[in-house]
Structures are given as structure tokens and as C-alpha cells.
Amino acid sequence: MRDKLRRGYQVHKEVTRNGYFEGDIALSELARLGELLHPGEGEQEERKIAVEFEFVRNEYDIPMITGQLQTSLELECQRCLKPLDMPLQLDFQLMIDADDDLLRDSSVDTIYSDDGFIDIFDVVEDELILATPLVALHEDSSCNEHWQASAEEPEATAKENPFAVLQQLKTTD
Ligand SMILES: [Zn+2]
């Protein structure tokens, strides 16, 4: 049975009852993530993140949360500074309070509870921040003609420079 998603959970209790939760988080609740989004559009406030996850134990008897989230973020294209829609759907699987030995042997990350409690908003926000590209760009590389003319050329000539230097060495040798 799925319960309605809320913010905080007592890990031991939820793992014991195999708690399963489902619901939406408003993007406006996630302030750190907000700094990565396109600043202009007021529509941003109404966006939501659909989340579902459950508490389980892994083979080492460590509590885990496993679930998925789905949303669409509005980023700022670094070429034209206009909004760029990025649909995101990702699965997450995290141990809770796993010790260092276990972390070394496992490919699964851990989160640390706050005295036995976790905040799913923080977990979802961290996952989304990790999934957001540092530099977002429209697929169409001509979204800003001015950028093509001014910013791309210096990069191209900089790349050619080492060869030019080599050529010079060869001819003067
Ligand atoms: Zn663009």
C-alpha cells in the first residue's frame, strides 16, 4: 500500500513496516536547486516533482530507500540565456547510515540520517542537483548566432596554436 508522501521519516520505523510513499514536491520548496534554474519565468513556481520510493533492507541488513522521480526543469541555455526545458526521470537507490567499510565495497551511495530521521525533500534535491548539467545548452547550436560568431572562433584558434608552434619549431630547426 502506498502512503502519501510527506517530508520527514523515522528510518527504523519505516524500514520495519516497509513504508512505500508517493506524491509531489513543489519545485519552489527546493531553494538550492532553484539557483540552478532559469530565473525569468514565473511558471517555475508551479512545477512539481513526482516522487515514489520505499524503505527496504539490503543484503547486509542496512536500511535503504529506493525509488524514482520525474519532473521537468527549466534551465538557462548558456549560449542564448533563454529557457531550456529538461525532462528528467531518474531512479535512486541509497543506503542509510552505511559505514565506511560497506561503502568501499558497494556501488551504492549512502545518506546519513539526522538522529534516525531523513528528509526526503533533501534527498530529492540532492539527486536533482547531481543530475542537472553544469552547462546547459540547447540542442540546436544556432540558438544564438552572435555566440557562434564571437565565442566559438577564439576557441578554435586556441586549439590550433600548439600545432602552429610545432610548425615553427620544425622550420627553424
Ligand atoms: Zn540556447
Q: How far is the CA of 42 from the centre of ligand 1 (A)?
A: 19
The CA R_g of the chain, rounded to the nearest whole Å, is: 23
Note the pLDDT tens digit of each residue in 42-60: 555 578 999 999 999 999 9
3-state secondary structure the chain: CCEECCCEEEHHHHHHCCCEEEEEEEHHHCHHHHCCCCCCCHHHHHCEEEEEEEEEECCCCCEEEEEEEEEEEEEECCCCCCEEEEEEEEEEEEEECCCHHHHHHCCCCEECCECCEEEHHHHHHHHHHHHCCCCCCCCCCCCCHHHHHHCHHHHHHHHHHHHHHHHHHHHHC
The pLDDT confidence band at residue 17, using thresholds 50, 70 and 90, is: very high
Q: In this predicted structure, what is the pLDDT of residue 71?
A: 96
Least-confidence region, from 9-13, 47-51, 114-118, 168-172: 168-172
Q: How far is the CA of 35 from the centre of ligand 1 (A)?
A: 18
Q: In this predicted structure, what is the pLDDT of residue 162?
A: 54
Question: Which residues, 6 or more positions from 69, have their beta carbon under 8 angstroms from its beta carbon?
Answer: 49, 50, 51, 52, 88, 89, 90, 92, 124, 127, 128
pTM (predicted TM-score):
0.80
Q: How far is the CA of 138 from the centre of ligand 1 (A)?
A: 4
| Mean pLDDT, residues 4-23 taken together | 97
Note the pLDDT tens digit of each residue in 128-165: 999 999 899 999 988 988 875 555 544 544 445 555 55
Q: How far is the CA of 151 from the centre of ligand 1 (A)?
A: 13
Least-confidence region, from 26-35, 64-73, 150-159: 150-159
Q: How far is the CA of 150 from the centre of ligand 1 (A)?
A: 15
Q: How far is the CA of 145 from the centre of ligand 1 (A)?
A: 10
Q: How far is the CA of 128 from the centre of ligand 1 (A)?
A: 21
